[in-house]
Structure 1
Amino acid sequence: MKKTLFTFLVCVTALAGCGTDGEPAGKPSGKPAAQSTGTVTWSACTGLTGADGKPAAPDPAVECGKVAVPLDYAKPTGDTIDLALIRIKATGDRLGSLVFNFGGPGGSGVDTLPMARQMFAGLGTRYDLVSFDPRGVERSAGIKCGGELDKLLDVSADEDGDKLAKEFATACEKDSGKVLPHVGTVNAAQDLDRIRAAVGDEKLNYFGMSYGTHLGAVYATKFPANVGRFVLDSAYDPTVTFEERAVIQATGFAKAFDAFAESCVAQSCELGKTPDEVEQTVEKLMDGLKTKPLKVGDRELTYGLGQLSVITPLYAKATWPMLEQGAAAALKGDGSTLLTLADSYTGRKPDGTYSTMMTSLQAINCVDTAERPTAAETAEINEKVKEVFPILASDGSGAVCAHWPAKGTDEAKKIDATGSAPIVVIGGKGDPATPYQWALTLTEQLKTGVLVTYEGEGHGAYLSGSSCVMRAVDTYMLTGKVPGAGSSCPAN
């Protein structure tokens, strides 16, 4: 039986997870650099890929650059690393820059922003849209851990998952040991302030989604006086333990699957005539993969990858049909759609290589907490997850953070933005990955948070296409008018 090695979820938007060919952002293209505000030298981007994983055509509106930051902020004059930046210039009367983090930890902003630009076209009339690869991600000293991730993402129950977890941690230390102690959200928040200064803004205007809400909250805690217009969409509560996060997210995905099943049946579902039948069909499909993976070319759709293929389309209502279609095809022996969904989650590229998403995720998560669950404790957590949503259960997986070579601290769990400008926090009632209750707790922790509730489904209220959410955010970002306390938006 196959299971994924990683025992907690990556929180990403539906846009994240698209690979690149690995070339550095901002590589000169022979064209003159654009004039810019601040100290960043911007030039044409090369090495970007589209949503299909193929090289993207050059776009004169998209520019790349970099900012040098200390590797260790305790030694500000010591070694530095370069952060990769990307920018789409404002099309109208410019207010400043708006910096995005689309989620993770481990998601590449350089890859995501060009694909997301149409969603933020209204904001792009007045702001330079800017994003970046956080430290430890892709072009910004991305964490590498040797070997093929296929082996680590798909652990047999009869294998020693904890032994493999230890080997994985050792490989990370070998390939990225210099960087490992210096990733994490606290350092990334300090990098954000360097980016703010480098683009020439007195205040940081910021849009964080999913994990990006954690990064924004830590920034506001460390630099409250520098907070400009802030939106934290799909809020994450950093104070939760590994166990709490696993159980809460399992509950969220179980509810999202139920909603998917009900919607599927209402539209003549290929997987069953009732929601219970749909659930039984998918569980039967997954059970079959335990003993007989589906051949997909020279690869296999195993149970571990099958788990990820079910979870991935639950992030957004718009991708629910892909789960129905993929599962229906798999029942007939064609696992290609489900394997593609799993690959989008893990950052696997068409050439078989991986982005740093999953390795960066692990490194940042382990540094962001002092918790070090043992294999036995991880197994106990898994049993609790199994009771809630069996598809997320991870028998045979190891406790990676227990073997992590870099020390973790709880500094990133301490949130208090007292003294900052108002921060708009958005929580979705049907969000599977960052459940609504986390929006409530993060708003309270910030002290300056203003909650907006979205009644609909999906991970990322703004990206859901809700005209109400988009109107509230755009009005705030463009005019500074803060949504009223207790504001809510109906489901689409």
Structure 2
Amino acid sequence: MTKRRSRVTAALFALIIVLGTSTSFARIDGSPVAARKGLERFYAQALSWGACQPYATDAKSKTLFEREGIQCARLQVPLDYAQPDVGTVTVALLRRPATEPGRKVGSLVVNPGGPGGSGMAHVANMQAGNPVGKRFDVVGFDPRGVGASQPRVLCLTDAERDAQRLRPKGETADAVEAENKFFVEKCAQRSGIDLLRNVGTRDVARDVDVLRAVLGDKKLSYLGYSYGTRLGALYAEMFPRNVRAMVLDGAVELNGDKVAASARQAQGFEESFQRFASWCAQRDCPIGTDTGTAESKFRQMIEPLKKTPLQVGDRKLSHSDANTAIIQAMYSDRLWETALKGLQELRQNKGTTLLQLADQYLGRAQDGTYSRIQDAFVAIRCVDEPPVKDRATLESNRRRLLELLGNDTVPSDETALGPCAFWPAPHTSEPRKPVVKGLPQVLVVSTTGDPATPYQSGVDLAQSLGARLLTYNGNQHTAFLAGIGCVDGVATNYLADLRLPETDVVC
């Protein structure tokens, strides 16, 4: 997995972040009057909590939503905040009530990342007895267009997704652009232009403020992972006086320099692969004991899959899937054993484990249904940032990327216009660092060995927000509530009691 390849895979398929983008929006006075003007009926609505099973949209959520101790509801919000009387969408919610209600602080709203990740599934999957669950009603939501929210973004069918994974990547820019145009056409046809123009982070941040009020919280307590840090930063910019506490873990780039951000993430995945290779070298490692050649040996192993995907039951493991599987394993060293098993199987012409890792990355359940996170990822990205529509800019970006990474070649898709160039709705945000005034001090968590949201991004976000920084020395993407005592202790004390360390902390 070269820097070039890790960058390409992350850019095309990443579930966690939008590379090098940021969101800005006219700052809104956080007072109730300013926020609710013309929106009174939305802010005044009452939620009806009930069983979660009817909210399931795929096999995974069906299993999760059958768990005990959770409740679900729907929140109604305007489709277009500029025209709140024209139409509405519903945002699906899942709540785990506080286990110590006598000591409850309020609600903790959680976004797990993406964009396009299901907050409902994330909260349903939380371990019982997690530290914040004692003091908070933990509330996960599926952002507009996502998961159980209605309507939701739909671009490709399950069968089309499966077929896409098996097709060889386009060898020319024209071939890649044709596939991108097909994707966009299906998005417009199956989702509708009105939804596509209103799924951006700008609108989700306003949904969160409606949710805060409807939950009965005067001020918001928020936990955002990865892309969720971007949503949190935008909310802080729009509604600074409505923030009680925020933990932002795994910060995405917010400076608007897409090329530098892409290069930084590529380097993050490359470094994670090198750490994996060093670990693997101490075992029965199919990519050898020399970390200097591990990358090339991995590429040699998966090269035959370009022409002949490997049969796995009634499915096949493609070259793209094998690469995606290893990218998935780089998100946490807890997946390295699984990746090793997958490589050992591949050495024996078996692909079960690698296909499972790729499915996990791409949101495919065992019954063949997809979570649609890939569709939502692109839809949200395309309205969150200005698209590149001319090839001169594309070529300039390509040359700069080569300079930053030191590569002498890039694949054809780096010279092709992406799906956002053909998007049928305008972008609703412009990239820049958040500008906040009147925000209480919040907490940013950043992990030194995080490949998807490199450590420096958290340092930069903490500086922009005037936040306290918690550094975790580890090899994974995000750290809070992952069973790391030091991290959990600092962040939980802050969320529950607003007690921040006097200085930045290293765990």
The answer, yes or no, to whether TM exceeds 0.5 is: yes
Closer, same or farther: CA 63–295 of 1 in aligned 2, 3 Å: same
Q: Which amino acid aligns with 1:279?
A: E
**In structure 1, the residue corresponding to 2:152 is in which secondary structure?**
coil
Alignment of 1:322-341 (within 5 A): 322-341=338-357
**Selected match of 1:135 from 127, 140, 144:** 144
Per the alignment, residue 236 of structure 1 pairs with 252
C-alpha separation in 1, matches of 2:347 and 2:393: 35
Letter in 2 for 1:149: R
Contact 1:254-1:389 within 8 A present in 2 as well: no
2:78 aligns with 70
Instruction: Please list, as runs of the form range in 1=range in 2, the aligned pairs for 1:280-299 lying within 5 A after superposition.
Output: 280-299=296-315
Partner of 1:418: 437
Match of 2:279 among 247, 250, 263: 263
- Residues 386 and 393 of structure 1 are in contact (CA less than 8 Å); yes or no, is this contact kept in structure 2? no
How far has the Cα of 1:151 moved from its partner?
4.0
For residues 360-385 of structure 1, the C-alpha deviation after alignment (integer angstroms, 9 at most, x for no partner) is 00011111111325567657767847
For these two proteins, the number of residue pairs brought into alignment is 461
Judged with a 3 Å threshold, the aligned counterparts in structure 2 of structure 1 residues 414 and 4 are, in CA distance, closer, same or farther, namely closer
Contact 2:130/2:481, CA 8 A, preserved across alignment: no
Query: How far did 1:8 drift?
Result: 6.1
Counterpart of 1:7 in structure 2 is 12
Structure with the higher fraction of residues in helix conformation:
2
- The yes-or-no answer on 1:97 pairing with 2:107 is yes
- Give how far 1:239 is off: 2.4
Distance in 1, matches of 2:52 and 2:410, equals 41
AA aligned to 1:474 is: T
Counterpart Cα distance in 2 of 1:44 and 1:186:
30
Compute the TM-score of the two structures, normalised by the length of structure 2. 0.84
* Equivalent residue for 2:488, pick from 447, 450, 470: 470
Residue equivalent to 1:164 = 179
Q: Which residue of 2 aligns with 1:41?
A: 48
Q: Secondary structure at the match of 1:430?
A: coil
Residue 440 of structure 1: how far off its partner (Å)? 1.6
Distance apart, 1:437 and its partner CA: 1.1
Q: Does 1:479 align with 2:497?
A: yes
State the partner residue of 1:29.
none
Letter in 1 for 2:53: T
Q: SS where residue 124 of structure 1 aligns?
A: helix
Indicate conservation of the 8 Å contact 1:296/1:335, yes or no: yes
Output aligned runs, 1:17-32, within 5 Å: none
Deviation at residue 334 of structure 1 after TM alignment: 0.9
TM-score normalised by length of structure 1: 0.86
User: Is the deviation greater in 201-210 or in 44-53?
Assistant: 44-53
CA distance in 2, matches of 1:404, 1:284: 37
SS in 1 for 2:138: strand
Task: Describe the shift of the 1:5–1:233 C-alpha distance in structure 2 as closer, same or farther (beyond 3 A).
Answer: closer
Q: Which moved more, 1:284-293 or 1:408-417?
A: 408-417
The residue that corresponds to 1:361 in the other structure is 377
Unaligned runs of 5+ in 2: 18-43
Distance change in 2, residues 1:49/1:263 (3 Å): farther
1:196 matches 2:201: no
Matched residues in 1 for 2:253 and 2:307: separation?
A: 38
Q: Residue 59 in 1 paired to residue 59 in 2?
A: no
CA distance in 2, matches of 1:469, 1:343: 30
Task: Tell me how far apart the structure 1 counterparts of residues 396 and 405 of structure 2 sit (CA, whole Å).
Answer: 13
Alignment of 1:342-361 (within 5 A): 342-361=358-377
TM superposition shift of 1:293 = 1.6
CA contact (8 A) 1:207 1:231 kept: yes
What is the alpha-carbon distance in structure 2 between the residues aligned to residue 415 and residue 5 of structure 1?
24
Letter in 1 for 2:479: A
Between 188-197 and 140-149, the greater mean CA deviation after superposition: 140-149
Stretch of structure 1 that moved more, 457-466 or 317-326? 457-466
Query: How far 1:39 sits from its partner (Å)?
Result: 2.4
Which of 93, 98, 121 pairs up with 1:85?
93
Q: Which residue matches 2:121?
A: 111
- Within the candidate set 172, 175, 190, 1:175 is matched to 190
Aligned to 1:316: 332
Does structure 2 retain, via aligned residues, the 8 Å contact 1:7–1:394? no
1:87–1:128: 8 Å Cα contact kept in structure 2? yes
1:144 maps onto 2:158 in alignment: no
Q: What is the SS of the residue equivalent to 2:486?
A: helix
Structure 1 340/220 Cα, relative in aligned 2: closer, same or farther at 3 Å?
A: same
Q: Is the 8 A contact 2:57 2:148 kept in 1?
A: no
Distance in 1 (CA, whole Å) between partners of 2:238 and 2:170 is: 43
Displacement of 1:242 in angstroms is 3.2
Worse-matched range after superposition: 80-89 or 329-338: 329-338
Note the 1:210-225 alignment, pairs <5 A: 210-225=226-241
In structure 2, relative to structure 1, the CA distance for the partners of 1:282 and 1:464 (3 Å cut) is: farther
Q: Secondary structure at the match of 1:10?
A: coil
Out of 431, 438, 449, the residue aligned to residue 467 of structure 2 is 449
Cα deviation for residue 230 of structure 1 reads 0.6
Amino acid corresponding to residue 85 of structure 2 in structure 1: T
Contact 1:67 1:82 in 2 (8 A): yes
Say what the alpha-carbon RMSD is for the aligned residues. Answer: 2.8
Alignment of 1:370 with 2:386, yes or no, is: yes
Q: In the alignment, residue 112 of structure 1 is paired with which amino acid? A: H
Amino acid in the other structure paired with 1:262: S
Q: % of aligned pairs identical?
A: 35
Q: What is the alpha-carbon distance in structure 2 between the residues aligned to residue 317 and residue 420 of structure 1? A: 35
Look up the SS of the partner of 1:163 in the other structure.
helix
Compute the displacement of 1:388 (Å).
4.8
Distance 2:398 2:316 in 1: 25
Q: State the partner residue of 2:132.
A: 123
